[in-house]
Amino acid sequence: MVSVMEATVSLVIQIIVLALLTVAVVLKNRKKFREHGILMTTSVVLHIITILYVMVPSFSSFFNSPGTIVIDVIVIISFIHVALGLIAVALGIWLTASWHFKTDLQRCFSNKKLMKPTLTMWVTAILLGVIMYITFWVGLLFS
């Protein structure tokens, strides 16, 4: 089981990731593509760290706990969060890796059609994670 401290640190990192994503979009709109790529890579790395150290153990403990799984709103949100988050991080890894291995940044524009859906999934997954944090941890503190 993940502690409140670990979940809170993960939440803070994800909020930082959300801020980095926002700044990266602003940089892209200003045609500062290299800086945009650096911030997106940083976001992907931070996201992977929180997935490996907090989210995977938290999600796996969900299935290892005794009893039956009750399907309620928070469980549905959790599954959507996990699905969107995994797709977004996989696409984020692919997009940033392909950017790093190209010498000509103009070739990155061929990946543009994947960038907006990836960003949308990523932001949605982060916001669902915030909802889960508030529902679970704040609910525990006040119950």
59-94 pLDDT, tens digit per residue, is: 776 666 666 666 788 888 888 999 999 999 999 998
- Say how many domains are in the chain: 1
Residue that wins the pLDDT comparison between 137 and 27: 27
Q: Cα(113)–Cα(6) distance, rounded to whole angstroms? A: 35
Which of 110 and 42 is assigned the larger pLDDT? 42
Query: Which tokens in the block code for residue 131?
Result: 């909802």
Kindly report whether the global pTM for this prediction surpasses the value 0.75.
yes
Q: Which domain holds residue 78?
A: 4-141
**Cα-based angle 100, 103, 107 (whole degrees, multiple of 5):** 85
> Which one-letter DSSP state was computed for residue 128?
H
pLDDT of residue 102: 59
- Contact at 8 Å (CB) between 6 and 128? no
Q: What is the mean pLDDT of residues 7-25?
A: 91
Residues 6+ apart with CB under 8 A from 111: 95, 98, 99
User: What is residue 73's predicted lDDT score, i.e. its pLDDT?
Assistant: 84
Asked whether residue 104 carries a pLDDT value surpassing 80, the answer given is no
